[in-house]
Amino acid sequence: MFYRFMLFTLFSVFLSTQAMAGKFEDAYGPKLYDIEKDKTSVRFVTKMCTADIIQGRFNEFFGQIYFDEFEPENSWVDVTIDTSSLSLDKEMHGNHIIKDVIEDVDILNIKKFTNIKLKSTKLERTGMNTGFMIADLTLLGETRPVKLEVTFENTMKDKYAKKVDDGKVAFSAYGTFKRSEWNLLYGLDRVGIRRMGDEVQIFVTVTGKLHEEKEVEKEKEQ
Residue 67 CA to residue 73 CA, distance in Å, equals 9
Helix (H) or strand (E) holding 168: strand 168-178
Confirm whether 104 is domain-assigned.
Answer: yes
Q: Is 216 part of a structural domain of the chain?
A: no
Q: What percent of the chain has pLDDT over 70?
A: 76
Residues facing residue 142 across a β-bridge = 139
**pTM of the entire structure?**
0.78
18 falls within a domain: no
The mean pLDDT value for 180-202 works out to 89
* Residue 17 resides in a domain: no
How many domains does one find in the chain? Answer: 1
Question: Domain range for residue 93?
Answer: 30-210
CATH number at residue 49: 2.40.128.110
Is the pLDDT at 29 greater than 50? The verdict is yes
Q: Cα(74)–Cα(129) distance, rounded to whole angstroms?
A: 14
At 200 the pLDDT is: 97
Domain-embedded: residue 7? no
The reported pLDDT for the residue numbered 46 is: 93
